[in-house]
Amino acid sequence: MSKIKPSKGAPYARIMGVGGYRPSRVVPNEVILEKIDSSDEWIRSRSGISTRHWASPEETVTAMSVEASGKAIAEAGITPEQIGAVVVSTVSHFKQTPAVATEIADKIGAGKPAAFDISAGCAGFGYGLTLAKGMIVEGSAEYVLVIGVERLSDLTDLEDRATAFLFGDGAGAVVVGPSDVPHIGPTVWGSEGDKSETIKQTVPWNEFHGGDVSKLPLNEAGEIKFPAITQEGQAVFRWAVFEMAKVAQQALDAAGISADDLDVFIPHQANMRIIDSMVKTLKLPEHVTVARDVETTGNTSAASIPLAMERLLATGQAKSGDTALVIGFGAGLVFAATVVTLP
């Protein structure tokens, strides 16, 4: 018989506050067109993107995260010292170690919380939310700060016609805390590693350290290109539209609701065509508000869902207590979907 005492966590968890940060520089499609042979009309028709935000040197992954976190903590009505864990999803923190979560925790004044990074691409927010829920129910933390943050402008090949227009920078954060009733549904998540080559970094970091430099890609000036994100657009589109609609439906089923019960749909802001196709496949009713933040923010990977959530609430398109389906999907290929009550 076990001598270990049972955990004394909360019965359930909920999102208590959300915050976002978008860099001050707004980059229109015209800037992107300086490097690629395309048009504003083509970019808008393919992605729905008209502008994106790019970070300045001062708007680091840490700085953007601190700004977003401060807003989320204030909205949650708690103090930084009450944060028991900080979970950061990012693929654009360029230090292998230590985790940027530890630096963020220190700068927000959180004391000595558990702090770690996760790498789950555009599904990273959903992964972090699920981990936070588990910690609260298990009892290892009362409040968890979940951050999705990216500086994808650092990983964008501006000469790649297929991806140059897609990516933006920003940070989104939520505080997850205890609840007496369920406000975060079961997560439907997973991976399809056999498709890992469809979204990837062009060159591994180790190729720049003792590798064969003659094999490294060059830019138009003949200089070695910095690693960038590349993807097989059509393959990703088909997977996202058809397979992720199934995952979204599974999340609705797991939460015990139907599309008619939804108030809001917040998919990863990858591409407007993907979003519209998912809405059609899921047969969402007209009353469901759909996040389309991608138009002015671009694809910010792990930050896209909390940024879109924050904007919907700030503009009044969604309100506290609304039932929302959130789904992230991307490099890996990985995915995570769940139903939440908005804070």
Is 268 a residue of the active site? yes
Q: What are phi and psi of 8, to 5 degrees?
A: -120, 55
SS3 assignment for the chain:
CCCCCCCCCCCEEEEEEEEEECCCEEEEHHHHCCCCCCCHHHHHHHHCCCEEEECCCCCCHHHHHHHHHHHHHHHHCCCHHHEEEEEEECCCCCCCCCCHHHHHHHHCCCCCCEEEEECCHHHHHHHHHHHHHHHHHHCCCCEEEEEEEEEHHHHCCCCCCCCCCCECEEEEEEEEEEECCCCECCCEEEECHHHHHHEEECCCHHHHCCCCHHHCCECCCCCECCCCEEECHHHHHHHHHHHHHHHHHHHHHHHCCCHHHCCEEEECCCCHHHHHHHHHHHCCCCCCEECCCHHHHCECHHHHHHHHHHHHHHHCCCCCCCEEEEEEEECCCEEEEEEEECC
- What's the half-sphere exposure (Cβ side, CA atoms, 13 Å) at 342? 27
The answer to whether 271 is a known catalytic residue is no
Query: CA 83, CA 73: separation in Å to the nearest integer?
Result: 9
Give CA separation, 202 vs 207, 228, 230, in Å: 11, 5, 6
Q: Which of 53, 93, 183, 268 is catalytic?
A: 268
Catalytic residue among 29, 53, 122, 271: 122
Q: Which residues are catalytic?
A: 122, 268, 299
